[in-house]
Structure 1
Amino acid sequence: MSEPAADAPLVLVVEDDPAIANLVGTALESRGLRHALAGTARRAIADAAELAPRVILLDLGLPDMDGIEVVRRVRTWSSDLSIIVVSARSDDADKIDALDAGADDYLVKPFSVGELLARVRVALRRASREPARPESPTFANGGLTIDYAAGIARVRGEELHLTPMEYRLLVLLSRNTDKVLTHQYLLEHAWGEGQVGDLASLRVIMASLRKKIGPELVQTHVGVGYRMVRVE
C-alpha cells in the first residue's frame, strides 16, 4: 500500500484503544487519507489546533476527559472542522449531547469500516464546498491572551480564574471583536439549547468578567449589549 500524498486531507483519530485506532488508521490510508492518532483528550485538543486536520474521528470514553468536552473546546476556535463522534454510547441522550455540543455526526460502535469511510467522505465533500475561514487557536488584545485549545485566559501573563459561563462569554466577545453583541445573542449562544438565561444574570456575570479582564476591553451599550474593543 502506497503512502498517502503529502497534500492529502488529514484525519485526526482520537481513540485510546490501540486496536481500533490502528484499524481506523489503516482504513484511512487505504483510501489515500493521512491520519494522526491521539489517545487522550488533551492531546486531541492540542493536535486539533496544531495539525489543522480536516476531520476528527472522536471517541467519547477517553481516559482524561469526556470527549464531549473536546467538542466544546474545539468549537471555541473552529466552526469549520468536521467532528464525527465514534462511540459505544448508543443512548439518544448521549447522541443529543454530542450534537448539541457541536459534533457534526455520530457513529455507534461496533461500526463497519465501510460506513465510517463513507461518513468521512461526506464530511470532506461538505468541507470542500464551504470556503475555509482561517481561525486562530489563540487570541491577544492588550494584556489579554486566550488559548482556546487549552481553555485558558490570561491578563499580563497571569492566569484568570473564570467560571464556565464567564469563559464562554469571553470567547464570544473575543471572536467578535469590535462588534456589538446583543443581549439576546449572548443569552442564546452562551447559555445554549436547553438552558435558560436572563438579562439580570447576564449583567451580573458580565460585570464580574469585566473586573477580571479589565473594564477597558469591553464596552457596555446600554439597552443593547456588549462589545470587545481592540486595544493596542
Structure 2
Amino acid sequence: MICDEDTRPEAICDVLIVEDDPAQAEEIACYFSRAGLTVQILHSGSEALHCVAEMRPRVALLDYNLPDLDGVTVAERIRRLSPETAMLMMSGRIDGLPEPTLRKVGLYSFVNKPVQPSQLLSSVRRMVRTAARTGLPATAPPKWLGLSFG
C-alpha cells in the first residue's frame, strides 16, 4: 500500500506492521484487530518510510528481511521521522541482533519467527498502552531486549 492522496491510511494507528509476507502480515493484523487494536499493513521499508510520519503509529512491528531495506535501516529512519513510535523487530532468518544494536535504534525487542500472535499481542499491548499514556515510545528493561518467541 502506497500512501498517496487517494489511499492514505488513517492518521493514527495503534500498530503498523511492515512485513513482506502478505499471509503472515494479515494473520497478525487480524489477530490484533480482533483484540481491539487499529492496524495498518505495509509490505516494504520504503512504503513505511513514506507513510510513517503521517500515520504516527504507536507501535511499528518490523520484519528484518524486507525486499528493499533491512529492518535496522527502517527502524533508524522511523526513529527520526516518528520519534514517539515504539518499535519491535522480527525475523525468521537471523537469530537476533546484538543488544547494543537494538538500543541504538530504539527497538523494544527482537522476536524470532515463527511467532505466535497471542504471545506477540501481550508485548504490543504493553507498548501501545505506554505510548498512549505517555506519548513516548515504550522503553523496556534490559531483560526484554532480545526476547524471542517461536
Q: Give the TM-score band, short-chain normalised.
A: 0.7 to 0.9
Counterpart amino acid of 2:109?
Answer: D
Counterpart amino acid of 1:104?
Answer: Y
Residue 85 of structure 1: aligned partner: 89
SS of residue in 1 equivalent to 2:46: helix
CA distance in 1, matches of 2:135, 2:14: 17
Distance 1:131 1:15, change over 3 A: closer
CA distance in 2, matches of 1:34, 1:111: 20
Greater Rg by CA: 1
Question: In the alignment, is the contact (CA less than 8 A) between 1:8 and 1:32 conserved in 2?
Answer: no
**Structure 1 position 122, deviation (Å):** 0.9
SS of residue in 1 equivalent to 2:20: coil
CA distance in 1, matches of 2:11, 2:71: 28
**Structure 1 position 43, deviation (Å):** 0.2
Distance 1:129 1:19, change over 3 A: same
- Say whether 1:102 aligns with 2:117: no
Counterpart amino acid of 2:116?
Answer: S
Structure with greater strand share of residues: 1
Where does 1:43-62 land on structure 2 (aligned, <5 Å)? Answer: 43-62=47-66
Residue 128 of structure 2: aligned partner: 124
Distance 1:87 1:96, change over 3 A: farther
**Structure 1 position 105, deviation (Å):** 2.0
Question: In the alignment, is the contact (CA less than 8 A) between 2:17 and 2:39 conserved in 1?
Answer: yes
Deviations along 1:80-104, whole A, 9 cap, x unmatched? Answer: 2111112124435455423322212
Where does 1:194-213 land on structure 2 (aligned, <5 Å)? Answer: none
Residue 168 of structure 1: aligned partner: none
SS of residue in 2 equivalent to 1:104: strand
Question: In the alignment, is the contact (CA less than 8 A) between 1:11 and 1:56 conserved in 2?
Answer: yes
Gaps of 5+ in 1: 1-5, 133-232
Per the normalisation by structure 2, the TM-score is 0.75
Of residues 108, 112, 116 in structure 1, which corresponds to 2:116?
112
Distance 1:95 1:66, change over 3 A: farther
Counterpart amino acid of 1:21?
Answer: A
Counterpart amino acid of 1:20?
Answer: Q
CA distance in 2, matches of 1:83, 1:125: 14
Deviations along 1:163-190, whole A, 9 cap, x unmatched? Answer: xxxxxxxxxxxxxxxxxxxxxxxxxxxx
Residue 27 of structure 1: aligned partner: 31
Aligned residues: 128
Where does 1:4-43 land on structure 2 (aligned, <5 Å)? Answer: 9-43=13-47
With CA pairs under 8 Å and 6+ residues apart, which has the higher RCO, 1 or 2?
Answer: 2
Equivalent pairs: percent with the same residue?
33
**Structure 1 position 61, deviation (Å):** 0.1
